[in-house]
Structure 1
Amino acid sequence: MKHHAYTARIRWTGNTGQGTAHYRAYTRDWEVAVPGKPPIPCSNDPMLGGNPALMNPEDLLLSALGACHMLWYLHLAAEAGITVTAYEDTPEGTGELAPDGAARFVAATLRPRITLKPGADLARAEAIHHEIHKVCFIARSVNFPVSIEPAFRIGG
């Protein structure tokens, strides 16, 4: 087994001058930065008092899941001789909130819209989606089911 190391810096930026003196004294804003990359301003889920204009942890997890699937799809399609000319996804996650306030994802659905060059093997293009769960780092790491509802278009 080969190991990979990842690092990030998470920094709270929501101190409005009082710190956490009380629940409404601060904002839920924060930023994530990875060495050598620009920081991404984030917040909490708006349902929990976060800024709706900023990414939240749930957005980032769902985006990472969709991006990992996409990158593996492109890789496996290239290996299979299938030329992808466009790929777009609108993933959706379903969460549940327990009475005690604990929350979790219970499912996610990826909905990739993929444009293939004419002559592509559509059956093989579809089958690739079902191979990705074996290799996608993020999909292999989450503990909820992920379904895929792809749609294909033949074009340039």
Structure 2
Amino acid sequence: MMKTHAYTSHVRWTGNTGQGTASYTGYQRAWQIAVPGKPVINCSNDPLLGGDPTLMNPEDLLLSALSACHMLWYLHLASDAGIVVTAYEDTPEGTGELERSGAARFIKATLRPRITLQEGADLTEAHAIHHKIHETCFIARSVNFPVEIDAEFLTA
């Protein structure tokens, strides 16, 4: 029997400037994410589509979620394998395409984790862990585009 997980969120548009959506240029692409018991996140649309470049947009959130899920599973599997990770950071990049119709989608993502391992760590196993993650990572298993890994390892 499969175990299910339930998640909830409250997304609220905050961009009504007084006339609602009476005209396409008359409203802001601003919104909030509110998850019970957590800080509210103010967001906007992609700047290419009229959004505020200082706020997170859906594409930022998806790419960040993919990277964070990979990181958390990496730390878990490294711990299980006896590999001590002392630092982990990632600068992922997503590639999207925009069709003439205006429809868009991600066509790939590249995760670029920079991982610091304790001296003497098995680098072959440290690399191999990345390939195991896509069997378990909730987000990676849910996206319909390829996710590549370009990892860099350091030792401390």
Whether TM-score is above 0.5 comes out as yes
Asked if residue 48 in structure 1 is aligned to residue 46 in structure 2, the reply is no
Asked if residue 103 in structure 1 is aligned to residue 137 in structure 2, the reply is no
* Distance in 2 of aligned mates of 1:70 and 1:145: 17
Q: 1:31-72 deviations in whole A, cap 9, x for unaligned?
A: 111111011000000000000000000000000000000000
* Distance in 2 of aligned mates of 1:20 and 1:115: 49
Shift of 1:22: 0.5
Partner of 2:122: 121
What TM-score results when the alignment is normalised by the length of structure 2? 0.98
The within-5 A match list for 1:53-92 is 53-92=54-93
- SS at 1:134 equivalent: coil
What TM-score results when the alignment is normalised by the length of structure 1? 0.98
- SS at 1:153 equivalent: strand
* Distance in 1 of aligned mates of 2:97 and 2:141: 21
Identity %: 74
For this pair of structures, how many residues does the alignment match? 155
Partner of 1:33: 34
* Distance in 2 of aligned mates of 1:99 and 1:21: 25
Shift of 1:21: 1.1
Partner of 2:140: 139
- SS at 2:5 equivalent: coil
**5+ long unaligned stretches in structure 2:** none
Asked if residue 148 in structure 1 is aligned to residue 145 in structure 2, the reply is no
**5+ long unaligned stretches in structure 1:** none
* Distance in 2 of aligned mates of 1:137 and 1:102: 25
Partner of 1:4: 5
Please identify runs of 4+ aligned residues in structure 1 that moved more than 6 A. none
